[in-house]
C-alpha cells in the first residue's frame, strides 16, 4: 500500500478530517488532500508529526511489516520507561495480550474478537496449546499472562516424579498452614514475630504451631533467628512473602474459572511429560 493510501486509511480510521489533521500539523487542508492523492508528498520533517497525530509508528505509516527483535525490544522498553509507575504493569499486560494475538496468527479475523476493551470488560481468559508450548491470559479479577515455551522435554525434568510438588500441596492443604501463609502475606517483608503471636493471630493450637512453622520455613516464607535477651533464649521469625505463592494461588483460582474463554486454540498432540 502506498504512503498516500495508507495516510488516508489511517486518518479515516481515526475519524479525523483532512482539516483536523492539517491543523495539528500546521499545514493547509489542501496540502493533506494532495498527499492522499499522491500529487505531492509530505516534507520529511513532517513524517514523525504525522505518525504521532495518527497515533501510529513510522513503520505502520509506511506499511512496513518487517520487524526485528531489536526494534521491538527497544520500542517496548521506551514505551514502558515513559509510562507512569502506576500504569506500567497494566501496559505490560496489554503488551502480553498482543503477544497472544500474534501467536494466534489470524490477525484480521481476530481484530474484533480480541478488542482489549471488550475482553477486559467481560473478564474473559484465553489460552493457546500446541506441541511447542502453551500460554494463559487471564482478564479475571486479577489479570495475568503466562507463556510456557517447551525445550527438549524440560517439563519432564522439572516435574520428575511429582514428589516435590506433592509435598508443597500437602503443606498448603493444612488449614492451619494456609491461615499462616495468608497471615504472612498480609504483612510486610521482614515482619518479626514469636511463635505465640502466630498461634494467637491464626487461632492455631499451641501443640500444632511447630509443625506450621516448619511448613512455612520449608516453603521459604520464614527465616528464624535464635537470640538471647536478658539471659533468656528467644526465637524470632522473619516473614518472607513470596510472589510465587501468590501466582500459585491465582493459577489455582483459574482451575475453578467458569466464565468461559474469549478465544482458545488447541493443537497439541504430544503428552506434556514423559
- What is the C-alpha separation between 35 and 54, in angstroms, rounded? 15
Confidence (pLDDT) at 258? 66
Query: Is residue 192 pLDDT above 50, yes or no?
Result: yes
Quick one: cell of 17? 478530517
Q: Please report, for residues 20, 62, 272, the alpha-carbon distance to residue 12 in angstroms, rounded to integers and kept in the order given.
A: 11, 16, 47
Lowest-pLDDT choice from 141-145, 202-206, 235-239: 141-145
Confidence (pLDDT) at 25? 93
Confidence (pLDDT) at 1? 58
Instruction: Answer with the residue of higher pLDDT: 163 or 71.
Output: 163
Kind plus residue range of the DSSP H or E element containing 262: strand 261-267
The pTM score is: 0.77
Taking only the tens place, the pLDDT of each residue in 138-183 is 887 788 999 999 888 788 889 999 999 999 999 999 999 999 999 9
Taking only the tens place, the pLDDT of each residue in 117-126 is 666 666 778 8
Taking only the tens place, the pLDDT of each residue in 27-56 is 999 999 999 998 998 988 999 999 999 988
**2 Cβ contact partners less than 8 Å away, ≥ 6 residues apart:** 38
Query: Is residue 95 pLDDT above 70, yes or no?
Result: yes
Instruction: Answer with the residue of higher pLDDT: 174 or 127.
Output: 174
- The mean pLDDT of 68-84, rounded to a whole number, is 91
- Structure letter (DSSP) for residue 114: T
| CATH architecture for the domain at 3-61 | Orthogonal Bundle (1.10)
Domain 174-245: assigned CATH number: 1.10.10.10
Residue intervals in the chain for CATH 1.10.10.10? 174-245
Backbone angles phi, psi at 210, to 5 degrees: -60, -40
Confidence (pLDDT) at 107? 47
Mean of the per-residue pLDDT values for the chain?
88
Lowest-pLDDT choice from 111-115, 151-155, 267-271: 111-115
Query: Is residue 85 pLDDT above 80, yes or no?
Result: yes
Residue intervals in the chain for CATH 1.10.260.40? 3-61
pLDDT band at 109 (very low <50, low <70, confident <90, very high): very low
- The mean pLDDT of 15-30, rounded to a whole number, is 93
Burial 79-105 (b: 16+ CB within 10 A, else e): eeeeeeeeeeeeeebeebbeebbebbe
Amino acid at each position: 500500500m502506498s504512503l498516500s493510501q495508507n495516510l488516508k486509511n489511517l486518518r479515516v480510521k481515526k475519524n479525523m478530517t483532512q482539516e483536523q489533521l492539517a491543523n495539528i500539523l500546521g499545514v493547509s487542508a489542501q496540502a493533506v488532500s494532495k498527499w492522499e492523492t499522491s500529487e505531492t508528498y509530505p516534507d520529511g520533517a513532517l513524517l514523525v508529526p504525522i505518525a504521532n497525530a495518527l497515533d501510529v509508528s513510522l513503520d505502520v505509516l509506511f506499511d512496513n511489516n518487517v520487524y526485528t527483535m531489536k526494534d521491538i525490544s527497544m520500542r517496548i522498553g521506551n514505551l514502558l520507561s515513559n509510562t507512569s509507575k502506576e500504569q506500567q504493569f497494566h501496559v505490560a499486560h496489554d503488551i502480553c495480550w498482543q503477544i497472544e494475538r500474534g501467536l494466534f496468527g489470524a490477525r484480521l479475523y481476530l481484530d474484533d474478537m480480541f478488542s482489549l476493551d471488550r475482553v477486559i470488560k467481560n473478564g474473559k481468559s484465553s489460552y493457546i496449546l500446541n506441541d511447542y508450548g502453551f500460554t494463559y491470559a487471564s482478564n479475571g479479577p486479577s489479570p495475568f499472562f503466562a507463556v510456557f515455551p517447551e525445550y527438549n522435554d524440560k517439563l519432564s525434568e522439572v516435574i520428575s516424579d511429582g514428589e516435590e510438588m506433592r509435598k508443597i500441596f500437602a503443606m498448603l492443604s493444612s488449614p492451619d498452614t494456609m491461615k499462616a501463609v495468608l497471615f504472612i502475606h498480609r504483612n510486610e517483608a521482614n515482619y518479626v514475630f514469636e511463635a505465640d503471636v502466630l498461634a494467637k493471630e491464626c487461632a492455631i493450637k499451641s501443640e500444632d504451631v511447630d509443625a506450621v512453622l516448619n511448613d512455612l520455613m520449608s516453603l521459604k516464607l520464614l527465616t528464624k533467628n535464635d537470640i538471647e535477651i536478658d539471659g533468656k533464649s528467644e526465637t524470632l521469625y522473619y516473614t518472607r512473602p513470596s510472589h510465587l505463592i501468590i501466582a500459585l494461588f491465582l493459577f489455582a483460582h483459574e482451575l475453578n474459572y467458569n466464565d468461559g474463554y474469549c478465544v482458545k486454540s488447541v493443537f497439541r498432540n504430544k503428552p506434556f511429560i514423559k
